[in-house]
Amino acid sequence: MKAGYLAAASAMALVSAVAGRADADDLTLCWAAWDPANALVELSKDFEAQTGTKMNFEFVPWPNFADRMLNELNSGGKLCDLLIGDSQWIGGAAENGWYLKLNDFFAKESISMDDFAPATVYAYSTWPKGEPNYYALPAMGDANGWFYRKDWFARPEIQAAFKEKYGRDLAEPKTQTELLEIAQFFQGREIDGKTVYGASIFTERGSEGITMGATNALYAFGFKYENTPGKYDMEGAVNSPDAVAGLEFYKELYKTATPPGYDNAYMEQSLDAFKSGQVAMAMNWFAFFPGLYADPNVGGEHIDFFVNPAQKVPASTLGGQGISVVANTDNMDGALAYIKWFSQPDVQQKWWSMGGYSCHNAVLNDPGFKDSAPFAGDFLEAMANVQDFWQEPAYAQLLLAMQERLHNYVVADQGTAQEALDGLIKDWTEVFEDEGKL
């Protein structure tokens, strides 16, 4: 969960801030190549100054991030001392011994997980889920949210046309239904002599895109992975009437309110469509919102933000990551010193001010936080209701199955939503049977 750095991603397998392997006393931190990583480089200069430890960074473009880092962990490689890895990796990393369990260190250094937002501790740090076994410190809170052309919404002629059609004022949508109506209203409309479209959403098949996009709708409609958490009882949850309605909704949004040829889009394409003035609204990760607001063409007074609208329940797809110590690091003391430094409230406050999304309660609960950025209040609201994909050790197989089922239905027009979700249960059942969990 996920700008110009993305534009060159397809031409790069690995972006490195340094050449060669670091010395044993240095530290190498691995993450995805995006704006928050650039902010962390700047923030980490304080750590270097305080400790004398040289920080090196390996940043991998998002399309290659999971494959590159999971291969590195699985092979026992020595590239990373610290890794900011996706929430879905936590189960496999814990069970395979890739990440250091941090409980003893946290106790020794009086680092309390109660000081971090509960949803981020649950999602980024714990395995088994919700148990007090910690394999990461919450590092980068994130969720899938929305932004829109505030200047277009405010135009009197557009306001009048919308009210005539729908009988209400054009404003930020409060439900998924309202979101669809607004997107359809802008679809094919002419603004400043240019044809524009309703929304840019996630449809990418190759990594995680369409799953991260469609679940924004599915969760809001009431989709659940299990009837009983931890029981893998998926029948009637994954394919419930609410889940079917949510998937049908996402297909209608795609078919009736997105730019033409938008059949394999993820973070980069969503940003490009908005920045080029093609769409009235766009979904993407909160991580990109600081850069969008600062954009000279579509930021500032031209843009505003809203949390993923509820339908039956308030819900947003979780992004974000925790920071972990790679278990076979050659500089364990240095890696743990970085975790301790990063956990401090004053460092977390600076992290937020530089464009990172702190998970620390001292930052999030500050009375001035909601007014510290135009998207800060929406971020708090989103993080209070986030839901995440399976964090199972076999998550990659589970994700591949969902990517295929969703893309085949939403984009390729194969079968019905009910058939797609029924088939997904079949796929996932096979995975969990192979894992010995069913």
* Secondary structure element (H or E) that encloses residue 305, with its range: strand 303-306
Residue 430 lies in a domain: no
In order, the DSSP letters of 356-383 are ----BHHHHTSTTGGGSSTTHHHHHHHH
Same domain, 283 and 325: no
Residue 350 lies in a domain: yes
Residue 392 lies in a domain: no
Residue 259 lies in a domain: yes
CATH number at residue 260: 3.40.190.10
How far is it, in rounded angstroms, from Cα 159 to Cα 144? 27
How far is it, in rounded angstroms, from Cα 300 to Cα 196? 20
CB 3 within 8 A of CB 322: no
Same domain, 83 and 29: yes
Where the chain has pLDDT below 50, the residues are 2-22
Q: HSE of 319 in the Cβ direction (CA atoms, 13 Å)?
A: 25
Same domain, 132 and 189: no
Angle at the Cα of 382 from the Cα atoms of 42 and 255, rounded to 5 degrees: 105
Is the bond leading into 296 cis (omega within 30 degrees of zero)? no
Same domain, 330 and 247: no
* Secondary structure element (H or E) that encloses residue 294, with its range: helix 289-294
How far is it, in rounded angstroms, from Cα 309 to Cα 377? 14
The rounded Cα 74 to chain-centroid distance in angstroms is 23
Q: What confidence score (pLDDT) does residue 1 get?
A: 53
State pTM to two decimals: 0.93
Same domain, 14 and 125: yes
| Structural domain span for residue 311 | 144-317
Packing angle of the helix pair 241-257, 209-221 (nearest 10 deg): 130
Residue 23 lies in a domain: yes
- β-strands 194-195, 197-200: how paired? unpaired
Same domain, 197 and 281: yes
**Where among 387, 408, 430 does a domain terminate?**
387
Q: What confidence score (pLDDT) does residue 41 get?
A: 98
Same domain, 151 and 298: yes
Residue 393 lies in a domain: no
CB 7 within 8 A of CB 268: yes
pLDDT, tens digit (0-9, with 9 covering 90-100), for 395-419: 999 999 999 999 999 999 999 999 9
Residue 162 lies in a domain: yes
User: What size, in residues, is the chain?
Assistant: 438
Residue 197 lies in a domain: yes
Other Cβ atoms within 10 Å of 351 Cβ, number: 22
**Where among 362, 387, 412 does a domain terminate?**
387
Number of domains in the chain: 2
Same domain, 230 and 131: no
Same domain, 155 and 134: no
